[in-house]
Structure 1
């Protein structure tokens, strides 16, 4: 399996990071993709990637919740500095979050658009964070339409129409613990989405799947997400694993 979205470098893993990675490997996870957040964690993320160069791959980007009036332009300049210095597997996680703070919408849009421009210029996929902001996110993506614009709608939690819109724009859906929640709702229509438009993720340490809901999530629980897809798609575990792995490798440009 491939966990396409895990914050393994976060402080929640400071006590047992290597053990958490070991547990994930034992559960069958072979690759881990780390989304960037902001300057407070970039170096920690890159150090972890350096420690596990064959299994862990870093993205670079500015998380929408870190787009703040006083610092966002400096933060973006730092992202660009990293992108110019070395290769990354994607630009992410980037996007729009209106759950915590609606007042920063205009600068969130500017930061999102700038990072999309860099992704197109560098021919990199983007990994999108969208929370209570599907309409605003789609507006930006429609404006920025380009043959090279592609990537993942991370932690997809929208409806069937929104899923189809994301796919029509050239994106796949990142499916994680939410698919196991009783009130998550995506389990009601997910099997209508072709498997070649889905990748697996945990978003650990957040959004742990049932039966661990409310506790710290970890990459080993990718197997629980995959198990839920077996139930929904009525397909063999290995088949879903193979298809979703290939989707992830195609997006991140890896063989």
Structure 2
């Protein structure tokens, strides 16, 4: 039986893959990961991302947005570039957008302004959003709730919250992006996932970051999606085929 997976969040355009990108893509496809969704960060990541989409159009799908860590003094300029690209070609989602209070709190007001604006783009263009909320999950949930008119959809990427936060996200009609963190020791995610139906989960790597055990600390890649799927199957006491089928269906519902 063929098992199909989707990596809903992978930065394969990152320069860490410059030496072996083709091999990495081939490995992913061989492992059953047939679709890889690429979130944008800022103006510097657009060109390498679009080059991948051109080379692997059946497998690589771009998003457009400005990552909260790149919302700085020139954030209006960054947003303008992203908006221009949205007018030029089609994208699978607005992402990766949101809030990050971990690295720097200097531009929180600007991050919130940018997040609201990019959610408006998603509503105007009928696109899903892919949300980054590091050390800012409840604020992110509240901001989505304020915009939710029944038409906003997407993923809370790299979910690592409480059962209550998971419930709030699901109630908003959003999905939990689950990656390598679920394989780490001393992590509450397995307990939280016991309370969450597979209907609300999608798989992601966030490559080159957050590689699952046994590769923790090394470069992550999309071919590791089945490792994450296997861990979820163990947590949910079901087969890997069920995890693959449901998470792939969920990703297709989001991205179309």
Describe the superposition over 1:178-200 as per-residue Cα deviations: whole angstroms up to 9, x where unpaired: 00011221111202111110000
Which residue does 1:31 correspond to in 2?
35
Counterpart among 72, 84, 87 of residue 68 in structure 1: 72
Matched, 1:8 2:12: yes
Query: Which residue of the partner structure matches residue 198 of structure 2?
Result: 195
Matched residues in 1 for 2:90 and 2:187: separation? 36
Structure 1 residue 49: deviation in Å? 0.6
The answer to whether the 8 A contact 2:205-2:224 is kept is: yes
Structure 2 residue aligned with 1:108? 111
1:93 matched to 2:100? The reply is no
- Give the C-alpha shift of residue 142 in structure 1: 2.1
Which of these residues, 51, 55, 58, is aligned with residue 54 of structure 1? 58
1:22 and 1:135 mapped to 2: Cα distance?
38
Q: Over residues 107-142 of structure 1, what are the superposed CA-to-partner deviations in whole Å (9 max), with x where a residue is unaligned? A: 000000000000001110000000000122122112
Alignment of 1:126-141 (within 5 A): 126-141=129-144
Q: Matched residues in 2 for 1:107 and 1:10: separation?
A: 25
Q: Distance in 1 between matches of 2:241 and 2:110?
A: 43
CA distance in 1, matches of 2:156, 2:138: 13
Cα displacement (A) at 1:169: 1.1
Partners of 2:163 and 2:208 lie apart in 1 by 27
What TM-score do the two structures reach when normalised by structure 1?
Answer: 0.97
How far, CA to CA, are the matches of 1:183 and 1:130 in structure 2?
A: 21
Deviations 1:173-225, CA, capped at 9 Å, x for gaps? 00000000112211112021111100000000000000000000000100100
1:3-41: CA deviation from partner (whole Å, max 9, x where unpaired): 000000001101111111111111111110000000011
Which residue is equivalent to 2:120? 117
Structure-2 residue corresponding to 1:44: 48
In structure 2, how many angstroms separate the alpha carbons of the residues matched to 1:184 and 1:42? 34
Match of 2:171 in 1: 168
Unaligned runs of 5+ in 1: none
Measured in 2, the distance between the counterparts of 1:84 and 1:106 equals 26
Q: How many residues align?
A: 252
On the 8 A contact 2:138/2:165 being kept in 1, the answer is no
Contact 2:182–2:190 (CA under 8 A) maintained in structure 1:
yes
Moved over 3 A (4+): none
* Residue 102 of structure 2 is aligned to residue 83 of structure 1: no
Instruction: Please tell me the root mean square deviation across aligned C-alpha atoms, in Å.
Output: 0.8
Distance of 1:163 and 1:41 partners within structure 2? 30
- Distance between the aligned counterparts of 2:104 and 2:167, measured in 1? 27
